[in-house]
């Protein structure tokens, strides 16, 4: 018997909440009332059983990606496609793109069911976007995702090629090999953004630094797809030059991905310092913006 996920409108009666195990989505669609209703019904129907589809192929999803795959599910294959560009150069599994791929699947299902002015599917900060003509979406970025700090905002317009946003870093739900507080990536799709955020966040690093405490991933989570690879747990005091060096290491990676057209931009954050790669402007906000759709963080 198929397990039933939790599906409900939030108290504002505008946003839909979909939750099943570790998948926790906030969905908002704008358009005619009948179109929004049809989109939400389609999203709920597609969401039901989606986790089971992924679990059925979990062993391969947790294995190192190669050029080819025997994965069969549409979301599983999207996950593999997102990480495949990196497979020859580093260890990466399709799980690096799971959140963005799920968000992308639900967004695509909604758009297949109805014509919408604007929509987003937010899967724990990894976001799939739809922007009709004249629409825009604002994203909030914290200086320090693990504590209160200065808010900055980034606006994505309908004319921009960005339809996916994802964040990775050592404060996130998944383990990180690097030391970034957060790396937020803009890309053409949510699955591409998710994979790239993982790669860039891993590159923000100071290998061998004595102030960085690392532990094998499988000691913290026995079934981790990272196995015995060392993941960052704590960071001691770093000098300004060391912070700059770590950020530049990640920035070099981000520029390479930008040149390969794998991303449209990235924001790298470490110990209160920030580097922006790509054309998007970041606006500093001393107070939380009133019309901020979502604040993303690791």
**Structure letter (DSSP) for residue 2:** P
Q: Average of pLDDT values for 147-159?
A: 77
**Structure letter (DSSP) for residue 97:** G
Q: Across the chain, what does the average pLDDT equal?
A: 90
- SS3 for 108? helix
pLDDT at 142 over 90: no
How do residues 31-76 score in pLDDT, each as one tens digit? 999 999 999 999 999 999 999 999 999 999 999 998 889 999 999 9
> Domains plus CATH for the chain?
6-296 (3.10.520.10)
Distance CA 153, CA 157 (A): 13
> What is the token pair recorded at 72?
């069969």
Q: Average of pLDDT values for 1-10?
A: 84
> What is the token pair recorded at 85?
């560009």
Q: Average of pLDDT values for 284-291?
A: 42
pLDDT value at position 172? 74
Cβ neighbours of residue 237 under 8 Å, at least 6 residues apart? Answer: 211
Q: Are 125 and 297 in contact (CB under 8 A)?
A: yes
Determine which of 235-244, 254-263, 278-287 has the lowest per-residue pLDDT on average: 278-287
């Amino acid at each position: 018997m198929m397990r039933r996920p939790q599906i409900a409108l939030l108290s504002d009666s505008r946003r839909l909440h979909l939750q099943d195990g570790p998948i926790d989505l906030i969905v908002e669609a704008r358009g005619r009332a009948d179109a929004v209703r049809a989109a939400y019904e389609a999203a709920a129907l597609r969401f039901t059983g989606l986790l089971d589809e992924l679990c059925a192929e979990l062993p391969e999803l947790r294995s190192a990606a190669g050029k080819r795959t025997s994965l069969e599910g549409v979301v599983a294959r999207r996950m593999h496609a997102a990480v495949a560009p990196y497979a020859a150069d580093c260890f990466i599994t399709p799980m690096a793109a799971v959140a963005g791929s799920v968000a992308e699947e639900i967004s695509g299902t909604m758009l297949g069911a109805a014509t919408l002015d604007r929509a987003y599917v937010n899967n724990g900060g990894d976001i799939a976007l739809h922007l009709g003509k004249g629409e825009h979406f604002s994203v909030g970025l914290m200086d320090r995702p693990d504590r209160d700090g200065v808010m900055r905002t980034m606006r994505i317009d309908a004319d921009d090629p960005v339809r996916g946003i994802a964040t990775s870093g050592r404060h996130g739900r998944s383990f990180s090999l690097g030391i970034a507080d957060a790396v937020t990536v803009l890309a053409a799709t949510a699955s591409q953004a998710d994979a790239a955020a993982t790669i860039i966040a891993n590159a923000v690093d100071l290998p061998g630094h004595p102030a960085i405490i690392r532990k094998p991933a499988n000691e913290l989570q026995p079934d981790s797809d990272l196995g015995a690879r060392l993941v960052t747990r704590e960071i001691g005091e770093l000098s300004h030059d060391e912070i700059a060096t770590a950020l530049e290491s990640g920035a070099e990676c981000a520029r390479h991905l930008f040149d390969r057209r794998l991303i449209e931009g990235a924001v790298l954050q470490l110990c209160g310092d920030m580097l922006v790669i790509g054309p998007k402007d970041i606006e500093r906000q001393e107070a939380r913006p009133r019309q901020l759709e979502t604040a993303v963080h690791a």
